[in-house]
Amino acid sequence: MKTQRYLPFLLTLTCAVVVAAQEPAPTPKLNLMPVPASIEFHQERLRIDSNFKVATRGHSDARLQAGIFRFMKRLEGRTVLTMAPGFAPDDQMTHLIIHAQGPGKSIPSVSEDESYHIDITNRQALLSAPTVIGVLRGLETLLQLLDADRTGYFFPGVQIDDKPRFPWRGLMIDVARHFQTMEVLKRNLDAMAAVKLNVFHWHLTEDQGFRVESKKFPKLHQLGSDGNFFTQEQVKEIIAYARDRGIRVVPEFDIPGHSTSWLVGHPELGSAPGPYTIERRPGIFEPALDPTREEVYKFLDTFLSEMAGLFPDDYLHIGGDENEGKQWDRNPAIQAFMKQKGIKDNHALQAYFNTRLLKILQKNGKKMIGWDEILQPELPKDIVIHSWRGTAALAEAAKKGYYGILSNGYYIDLIHPASSHYAPDPVPANTTLTPEEAKRVLGGEATMWAEWVTPETIDSRIWPRTAAIAERLWSPREVTDVDDMYRRLGVISIQLEELGLTHKKNREMMMRRLVRNDDIGPLRTLVSVIEPVKEYRRYQMRPQTMLSPLTGVIDAATPDAEGARKFSWMVKEFLGDGPRYQLYQSELSQMLSEWQTAGASLGPLVDRSPAIREIKPLAQNLSQLGDIGLEAISYLKLGMPPPRDWRETTMVKVDEAAKPYGALEFVVVSGVKQLVLAAAEIKP
Amino acid sequence: MKTQRYLPFLLTLTCAVVVAAQEPAPTPKLNLMPVPASIEFHQERLRIDSNFKVATRGHSDARLQAGIFRFMKRLEGRTVLTMAPGFAPDDQMTHLIIHAQGPGKSIPSVSEDESYHIDITNRQALLSAPTVIGVLRGLETLLQLLDADRTGYFFPGVQIDDKPRFPWRGLMIDVARHFQTMEVLKRNLDAMAAVKLNVFHWHLTEDQGFRVESKKFPKLHQLGSDGNFFTQEQVKEIIAYARDRGIRVVPEFDIPGHSTSWLVGHPELGSAPGPYTIERRPGIFEPALDPTREEVYKFLDTFLSEMAGLFPDDYLHIGGDENEGKQWDRNPAIQAFMKQKGIKDNHALQAYFNTRLLKILQKNGKKMIGWDEILQPELPKDIVIHSWRGTAALAEAAKKGYYGILSNGYYIDLIHPASSHYAPDPVPANTTLTPEEAKRVLGGEATMWAEWVTPETIDSRIWPRTAAIAERLWSPREVTDVDDMYRRLGVISIQLEELGLTHKKNREMMMRRLVRNDDIGPLRTLVSVIEPVKEYRRYQMRPQTMLSPLTGVIDAATPDAEGARKFSWMVKEFLGDGPRYQLYQSELSQMLSEWQTAGASLGPLVDRSPAIREIKPLAQNLSQLGDIGLEAISYLKLGMPPPRDWRETTMVKVDEAAKPYGALEFVVVSGVKQLVLAAAEIKP
């Protein structure tokens, strides 16, 4: 579900200001993310050295053993200790006892018990869980508990009782607008498991690409994908990989709209004669399946039955969003059909289409999930509404008896900060739902729409921010301390790299390519305080197609620009320390001087590197912001009021310097303004 | 072929001092690597913008088109320009005309014509070649020619006539000691193509692992690989991927020694009863196939025929190295066989074995290649001797009429600098071979033995140094300017990153994991001036097994440590500027101060990070070397002689600080000593 039409809704919600929880958050000063449901500390420490041994108790199977093997490899990787392979006896000499009471469901399910218990003493750690998936969740917690002191590595003494708040905690990856490789999916599944997400929603078809092999209708992938699709063998490999990590795989086939790529090979399914070509632009397009012809349902019956056999999950996502019905309006046969059947509008026609789809899914033992638009009274109560509209729409559905999941507020493609995704709650504290109704809100999904991501950049658009969403969906509602979230996010972000994620390391690589040199210092300084413009402004300001290179400065820049976050924090401390203004004064001045220098050095760098030419004005403005910040600080230091019109002329300069170029904008402007305003308030 | 037994040989050759060529090298001041056979410049420039268009002329096929597609994607990626997909008409308006005269051989071959011609004017570039592979080589040259000025990107005006000096230019990757993934192989094949290497020698079996699926004898890979092997489908995928890039794939099945992993599933092939387990240590081991039993040949006949069908190349590598025959000596049946057949020693027994192997290969239409040890008079003249012994052994074989390739001097696992690999020439200037004999020296191969590399680190052990070897094997013998090689290597190294190589970007990622923090500054400073110990000393100083984590500081450190190279160069300039000592004085002092600071900051970092504990003495010594260097510089600056015994006591201190710890050693010691000696020579 893309939201270009509904921008105001989203804007309101994703820009919601995050307020600190009123009661003190129970977040412990540990690096756990998501924060467990219950945790108690004590002073003991279980030491870890190369003699570290693991035993299993109770149920054991291949999935459990593979999970423990991966755990040990990561533990070894971080500690650089060689530990003995295999399992030790279940006795008092063994450091970690893992007790799975049973295998859990053979196919990961929304009703899986993911709870686990950890008890760590000086002598031994016990991880127990009703299911293997519970154990897998606990192993991730253990890896996050790993700590060190002068003596060496250890697990701190804790008692943890943990289970998720919501049973549906997903990440949707759109592999259609830009294709993503097997490696991208695998490393992201590993990362999902690391933060206890449990649904990989695989957005497989779009106007811009049909990405799964169909043996029944091979023209779908052959003509609709530029050769970039997943074979059925690869699909099975991903499903097995996900299952091994306790993750469900929910495929999405987005119909009746968003279907241009289907029609390239099968124009006969369309509501207009065609021919069709793969769409290369972003946006909402007219092509839609024809819901009035029996051959279309026959086709869908065969195709969806094939896919239902391939994907074992209980649910199948049918999309259903953003069909504007323009092709339907113009097709006389469709209009005649509607008249004959008494179908009053396009919404009703789509409802008719969905009812037919539902029968196909039911025949194949699948439950339907689709975007908000599919909600209609005739549908049975086991469908799931996937809401991009928000908690109100979700609550309304729940009151009617429908299940739902939230994605409004979790659109990670929009380049908002982690804090903005951390705030929205599928069942907020002020909910009007009864406890029973609230249970129908199953959870939520982060959505990685893929207009502007390639395998090289996608990790930096998903991580680490999605860990904040994972916490929202797993941890108690009361866990809302934004500062502590960011602190832990920094730690988790580095841990995610051990799984092969490239969200940190590709940034400098891309800068080296842009300037064809190792000396990227000044560019790095600039990129640390700018971000791509938010929402859908990128395309408006810097039009590209799905075939364009995504290798520009905008692609190296990331949400939550680190230098900017550091700057804001230092400004807050510095101003909070008034009228002395000593706290972080020298660090702040140093940072502002760096901006001056970097801005100046970028000039010659831009001259040698046409690929970064678009940032030339940003370089000048970086120097300007540095100048202004230092000027303000010097007034504050001296306690000397600036000249009369200084505030006004300076704020004009800041606004001028704040303009975006190359669809990149400074995220340090409000900090600089705060400095200016504080200086302007100095009394003579 | 591993060389532990023969260390002195290798040591002599790989440590050979690189002397600048006596005649001025014809290397142009461009970034081409390898340097073309012939290049002429003129002042024209072919401008590149988003209208850039390509046309083909003459032969066209899928491989050519895919190669041009990849070329365009890389061109777009670097320039951040969106160019129109597809081909333009062959007319004067089209910027690049590509003219392949024919397809070349359907399977890449040692007799392939790889030559190409490039002619670039203001208006148009023409790339022509007799074969598609020639075009692919030329496209890589074009990408290296890409340059920029204030106006934008351009190809400089040149005329290039290029062809390789040697037809066999390989990279061997050992995927047996440590398994490597498909992605590792693919990105390395891309990198090979980028520097015009044309043979991927796939070392598939070892004591430590059997890495290819056998449908005939599935116990080989099932029991010999810990589940880490390439399926036959994957092998085909790699062969196709390599062929698309004009690269041959030569598989190696190393027998009769180095075969422990074979015997885990098939102990009946061994020369001792077994049972066998996969070897986890590095080194040379006793297990060897029994060359006296017919069932062994029957097995090999079936197995090698299966493999001969899987791998289309003309050659099959049978290893043959380092079989010490200890199992043979102790086996009475083998001894009786030798007596009966009049086989006088183990070498003769292995010759008997090879003669039998040869028949199997011949039956399957394959030519044999093996390490030095296989050379014996009975073998036909179409076999290839793969020499780890050196150019003398190679020349001897060539005089006897045998083909050969060189790997001595190209052992990139030994952590020597690129300069040491750049020097050895398969047919050196002082060769005693006649031109006809010299033609039998087909080229050489860089060998990536995999005791201490994982998918995370292997790229940093192969690249960028292997580009220097690629140049030795492609470019004219006279191209030997080491400084210019390093200059170009720096540029190429960044370009290689666009192919997904991790040799640069994984370094800091590994440091972040070690210190669990983004603030890696002081560790980075240390790692920039230290290197892993050379040759086979790593295992002696820091024993690990094939199952150990390779995530330590030693694994983040790389050959040709960049800070050290910069330091050496600055010391040379500084001392060369005596008695003024102004050139680079402040940069040098700044670098030495950084060592002091970093050394001091590392203390607390080590206390928080047990994984880097082994570098604690190195941190202290880094400070010490900084102190000493600054002291020497201050004497030199002042022209003041140091106290009498200063030189002696200081040199003792330097030697003390130079000691390796954690199998890591400073590579700035000789520079610091030069400073000390220069200061000690100041006359009062």
Question: Per-residue pLDDT tens for A64-74?
Answer: 999 999 999 99
Q: Is B73 an interface residue toward A (CB < 8 Å)?
A: yes
Residue of B49, B69, B80 to mutate, interface with A, max A Cβ within 10 Å: B80
Q: How many Å lie between the alpha carbon of B14 and the closest alpha carbon of chain A?
A: 29
Q: Is A504 an interface residue toward B (CB < 8 Å)?
A: yes
**pLDDT (0 to 100) of residue B29:** 64
Q: Is A494 an interface residue toward B (CB < 8 Å)?
A: yes
Tell me A533's DSSP state. P
Q: Is B551 an interface residue toward A (CB < 8 Å)?
A: yes
Q: Is B505 an interface residue toward A (CB < 8 Å)?
A: yes
d(CA B290, CA A488): 59
d(CA A470, CA A200): 13
Which chain A residues are within 8 Å of B488, Cβ to Cβ? Answer: none
Q: Is A61 exposed, middle or buried (0-12, 13-18, 19+ CB in 10 A)?
A: middle
Contact between B652 and B680 (Cβ < 8 Å)? no
Q: Is A152 an interface residue toward B (CB < 8 Å)?
A: yes
Q: What is the ipTM of this complex?
A: 0.94
Q: Is B227 an interface residue toward A (CB < 8 Å)?
A: no
Count other C-beta atoms under 10 Å from residue B162's C-beta: 24
Q: Which residues lie below 8 Å from residue A389, measured CB to CB, with a gap of 6+?
A: A6, A9, A372, A408
b/e per residue, A353-366, with b = 16+ CB within 10 A? bbeebbebbeeeeb
Contact between B196 and B169 (Cβ < 8 Å)? yes
Question: Per-residue pLDDT tens for A210-255?
Answer: 999 999 999 999 999 999 999 999 999 999 999 999 999 999 999 9
Contact between B472 and B431 (Cβ < 8 Å)? no
Among residues B348, B349, B380, B346, the alpha carbon closest in space to that of B366 is found at B380
Instruction: Mark the ranges of chain B whose per-residue pLDDT is less than 70.
Output: 1-29
What does the block give as tokens for B536? 């086979």
What does the block give as tokens for A219? 């023209």
d(CA A682, CA A35): 44
**pLDDT (0 to 100) of residue B47:** 97
Contact between B289 and B205 (Cβ < 8 Å)? no
Asked if the model's pLDDT at residue A283 lies above 60, the reply is yes
Query: Stretch A570-585: mean pLDDT, rounded?
Result: 96
Whether residues A611 and B491 touch (CB distance < 8 A) is answered with: no
Count other C-beta atoms under 10 Å from residue A153's C-beta: 22
**pLDDT (0 to 100) of residue A682:** 94
Whether residues A513 and B506 touch (CB distance < 8 A) is answered with: no
Whether residues B508 and A505 touch (CB distance < 8 A) is answered with: yes
Query: Residue A452 — φ and ψ, nearest 5°?
Result: -125, 40
Which chain A residues are within 8 Å of B551, Cβ to Cβ? Answer: 76-78, 80
d(CA B353, CA A148): 56
Surface of B (312-341) touching A: CB under 8 A: none
Instruction: Give, in order, the Cα–Cα distances in Å from A330 to each of A217, A325, A341, A346.
Output: 28, 9, 18, 12
What does the block give as tokens for A587? 């660090």
What does the block give as tokens for A329? 């309006």
**pLDDT (0 to 100) of residue B677:** 98
**Catalytic pick from A112, A114, A140, A322?**
A322
Q: How many Å lie between the alpha carbon of A504 and the closest alpha carbon of chain B?
A: 8
Prior bond to A275 cis, omega within 30?
yes
Tell me A423's DSSP state. S
Cα within 13 Å of Cα(B194), Cβ side: 30
d(CA B544, CA B136): 42
Whether residues A552 and B491 touch (CB distance < 8 A) is answered with: no
What does the block give as tokens for B642? 């140091």
What does the block give as tokens for A416? 């908002």
Asked if the model's pLDDT at residue A669 lies above 50, the reply is yes
d(CA B634, CA B235): 61
Contact between A211 and A240 (Cβ < 8 Å)? no
CA A356 and chain centroid, separation: 33
Which chain B residues are within 8 Å of A551, Cβ to Cβ? Answer: 76-78, 80
Among residues B317, B328, B242, the alpha carbon closest in space to that of B293 is found at B328
CA-nearest residue to A184 within chain B is: B183
Confidence of residue A684 (pLDDT cuts 50, 70, 90): confident
Instruction: Clarify whether A531 is annotated catalytic.
Output: no
Q: Is B237 an interface residue toward A (CB < 8 Å)?
A: no
**pLDDT (0 to 100) of residue B12:** 33
Question: Per-residue pLDDT tens for B401-459?
Answer: 999 999 999 999 999 999 999 999 999 999 999 999 999 999 999 999 999 999 999 99
How many interchain CB pairs under 8 A, A with B?
110
Whether residues A497 and B490 touch (CB distance < 8 A) is answered with: no
Q: At what angle do helices B346-363 and B294-310 cross, to 10 degrees?
A: 50
Ramachandran class of B523: left when φ > 0, alpha when ψ lies in -120 to 50, beta otherwise: alpha
Among residues B174, B177, B275, the alpha carbon closest in space to that of B226 is found at B177
**Catalytic pick from B213, B252, B286, B322?**
B322
Whether residues B508 and A513 touch (CB distance < 8 A) is answered with: no
What does the block give as tokens for A294? 């029996």
Which chain A residues are within 8 Å of B498, Cβ to Cβ? Answer: 513
Cα within 13 Å of Cα(A501), Cβ side: 24
Asked if the model's pLDDT at residue A2 lies above 60, the reply is no
Q: Please report, as a single letter, which amino acid is at residue A485.
A: M
Ramachandran class of B274: left when φ > 0, alpha when ψ lies in -120 to 50, beta otherwise: left
Q: How many Å lie between the alpha carbon of A606 and the closest alpha carbon of chain B?
A: 8
Whether residues B548 and A82 touch (CB distance < 8 A) is answered with: yes
Surface of B (509-528) touching A: CB under 8 A: 509, 512-514, 516-518
Question: Per-residue pLDDT tens for A145-203?
Answer: 999 999 999 999 999 999 999 999 999 999 999 999 999 999 999 999 999 999 999 99
d(CA A310, CA A234): 11
